[in-house]
Amino acid sequence: MKRFLALLATCATVLGLTAFTAPQAVAAAGCRVDYTVTSQWQGGFQGGVKVTNLGDPVTGWTLEFALPDSGQRIVQGWNATWSQSGSTVTAADAGWNRTLATGATVDLGFTGTFTGANPQPAAFTLNGVACTGSTEEPPPTPDDDTPVDINGQLHVCGVNLCNQYDRPIQLRGMSTHGIQWFSQCYNTASLDALANDWRSDLLRISMYVQEDGYETDPAGFTSRVNNLVDMAGTRGMYAVIDFHTLTPGDPNFNLARAKTFFASVAARNAGKNNVIYEIANEPNGVSWAGIKSYAEQVIPVIRAADPDALVIVGTRGWSSLGVSDGSNENEVVDNPVNASNIMYAFHFYAASHKDTYRATLSRAASRLPLFVSEFGTVSATGGGAVDRASSVAWLDLLDQLKISYANWTFSDADEGSAAFRPGTCEGSDYSGSGVLTESGALLKSRISTSDNFPTS
Catalytic residues: 282, 374
- Cis before 218? omega within 30: no
Q: Are 420 and 436 in contact (CB under 8 A)?
A: yes
E strand or H helix at 243, and its extent? Answer: strand 238-244
Q: How far apart are CA 343 and CA 336, in angstroms?
A: 10
CA-closest candidate to residue 47, choices 454, 333, 305, 432 = 432
Q: How far apart are CA 45 and CA 75, in angstroms?
A: 10
Q: Are 262 and 298 in contact (CB under 8 A)?
A: yes
Q: How far apart are CA 313 and CA 294, in angstroms?
A: 10
CA atoms within 13 A on the CB side of 293: 11
CA-closest candidate to residue 134, choices 226, 48, 24 = 24
Burial 153-180 (b: 16+ CB within 10 A, else e): ebbbeebbbbbeeeeebbbbbbbbbbbb
| Residue 202 backbone dihedrals phi, psi, to 5 degrees | -150, 160
- Cis before 409? omega within 30: yes
Contacts 24+ apart (CB under 8 A), 424-430: 424/185, 425/182, 425/184, 425/185, 425/190, 426/184, 427/1, 427/3, 428/189, 429/3, 429/189, 430/189, 430/190, 430/192, 430/193, 430/194, 430/197
Residue 331: CB atoms within 10 Å: 19
